[in-house]
Structure 1
């Protein structure tokens, strides 16, 4: 099996974590350095709220160890404000903002839709067709940024690598077999989102990776995951990483074709309110035998 499993957290700058996960007195500028030596991946979620700058992405890459991977959350301007429509220039701006400066540390791009946006196959298909599938395509798209990025654009890549996209949805109308079929047609991964029952929970495998976001076991953004829950998630991750699916997978459509070489699995904990996310991510990593979970 050649699949890679990574467990991590969504974001890393949280005041309540200071003095709990982060040691007392640790400078804020060293928090990413600290977290990246205990976790296998981190979601960049500041990119959801505003376009970041190339210098920030360069600094983040420099602060993490070799082999560390970031996923990057696409901007809410595209998903929530434009609702995926007429977004060619906003996408160019996003990819010109410095995302490609992460180099080989760039993992999947996460697109999270708002709870108010229902399933619309045509809208989704048009959006998927705009998405670059390699870093070279992303660099070419970035060249079409608008004037706001004229003095701060990053439009090159150090190598041409595959670029993978995943979609998280929050409207009940997505619970149709047409949805995973559309994702498979376009090679986009379905996000397995545990949201304490608030939004759809789906486990269809639609691409060459499985992307999991754990927002809280019983209470959204608050609840931790106890030992039985972590054991259950570890079993599911092992099944996905082996190229199969859990026996009780909650699917809308037929199972995916087995992947003999396995599938990459990314698991991010977003239950940050009570400092559970990094603790749970490290606990799951230990169960799976992946790391790092201790200082290098």
Structure 2
């Protein structure tokens, strides 16, 4: 049963990417030669509405989101930071942003590892949608981040840029490397998160501040209450989490420091807080319960309900087939 669910989910998800690329992104490509700004508006609109698709699928495949803290303001020119628990976090971030945004008018961009851009379908679409790919070579990445900030500032559009400060997802191998880093610099060892890399975060914040294109930092903490889909293979096997918690804390521009050393301290403190909260959740199964307001989940659009009925019917048919065997 789980395998059938995984196959259905991955098939629907991947086919939507390929269809969107072929039927929506490719036809509007000539607009780029007429107006770069108008082309970017179109790609932003297409991607924003596509985000509803995985949101609806996860809803009807039974994944429940419990989101607390602050709403994400759609018109904020912001940076989003989040702990990188699994390689598939991005798949669950879209529903979180959808549910947490005050309006369906956000513009989310990711900073990702360079090899992803070559992945057929998702890599192509995210390139066309102005996602940034970095190579983990600071001289090159520094220029890429600077160029991105200059570009989005010139468009005078409000974007939310997601960066994973840890640089990679949490696995036994990456945790061991994090411990080695902690030993080298006499830092406390973390077990729920990895020690964050500060250079890219500090530079991104400074560049946005320099161009007065910065309103806030959103600090997201995600935790999977049961199944942890560490890789895409886990999702293919149908190991979708039943419940996902996410806490959101907004820091306005006046609360964010401007010097590199102060930004390093700011970021490392947030990761210390994450380590504490995630360790507490592991012990008590309670997550950010102090002074936290539950964010009500947005009602699905009618078209997505129709999609949901189709998905539920497939699940029913798969379960019926399994019971008959």
Q: Report if TM-score (shorter chain) is over 0.5.
A: no
TM-score by structure 1 length? 0.33
TM-score by structure 2 length? 0.31
**Structure of larger gyration radius:** 2
Higher helix share: 2
Q: Which has the higher contact order (CA 8 A, sep 6+)?
A: 2
